Homo-oligomer: A and B are copies of this chain.
Amino acid sequence: MTSQVKTIGLFSFSMSVKQRYDRRDIRRLNAVSVLNQLRTNGPMSRAMIAASLGLTRATVSNIVKDLLQVSVVSETEYNERGTGRPGLLLNLNPDCGSMIAVDVNLDHFAVVLTNVGQDILWRDRSPLLRNAAPDQVMERVVKLVEHAVKLSAKRNLRCYGICVAWAGLVDRDRGELAYGPTSGWEHVPLKRHWESRFKVPVYVENEAHAGAIGVHHFGPRPGVRNLVYLSLGVGLGAGVYVDGVLLRGKQGFAGQVGHTHFLDNGVRCGCGKQGCWVTEIGASGIERKLTAAGFTIPGKVNSSVDWVDLIFEQAQAGNPKVLLVLREVGSQLGAGAALLVQTFNPSMIVIGGRLGRAMQLVQPQIESAILSETLPYMIEPLEVIVSPSGEDHIQGCIATVFDSIMKNPPLTGE
Binding site for B on A (CB under 8 A): 2, 4-15, 17-23, 25-26, 29-30, 32-33, 36, 39-40, 53-55, 169, 179, 216-217, 222-223, 225-226, 241-257, 259-261, 264, 271, 273, 335, 338-340, 342-347, 373, 375, 377-378, 381, 399, 403, 406-407
The answer to whether B223 touches A6, judged by C-beta atoms less than 8 angstroms apart, is yes
The answer to whether B247 touches A242, judged by C-beta atoms less than 8 angstroms apart, is yes
Name which residue of chain B comes closest to A378, CB basis.
B253
Number of copies: 2
Name which residue of chain B comes closest to A30, CB basis.
B21
Name which residue of chain B comes closest to A381, CB basis.
B250
The answer to whether A222 touches B9, judged by C-beta atoms less than 8 angstroms apart, is yes
Q: Give bound CA distance, A406 to B7, whole Å.
A: 11
Contact A260 to B8, CB < 8 A, known contacts A19-B53, A345-B251 = no
The answer to whether A259 touches B10, judged by C-beta atoms less than 8 angstroms apart, is no
Contact A10 to B29, CB < 8 A, known contacts A15-B243, A257-B343, A342-B257 = yes
The answer to whether A407 touches B10, judged by C-beta atoms less than 8 angstroms apart, is yes
Name which residue of chain B comes closest to A377, CB basis.
B179
A251 nearest CB across to chain B (Å):
6
Contact A377 to B33, CB < 8 A, known contacts A14-B245, A223-B10 = no
Contact partners of A255 in chain B: CB under 8 A? 343
A-B contact pairs, 26 of them (CB 8 A): A2-B54, A6-B36, A8-B36, A8-B40, A9-B222, A10-B217, A10-B222, A12-B403, A13-B244, A14-B245, A15-B225, A17-B36, A20-B54, A20-B55, A22-B26, A225-B250, A226-B250, A242-B249, A243-B245, A250-B381, A252-B345, A254-B345, A257-B342, A260-B343, A261-B335, A340-B343
Q: Give bound CA distance, A337 to B19, whole Å.
A: 36
Given A12-B244, A255-B343, A259-B375; 19 other pairs, CB 8 A cutoff: A6-B36, A8-B32, A13-B13, A14-B244, A19-B33, A19-B53, A21-B30, A25-B26, A242-B249, A242-B254, A243-B245, A243-B247, A245-B245, A251-B381, A254-B343, A260-B342, A260-B343, A264-B264, A339-B339
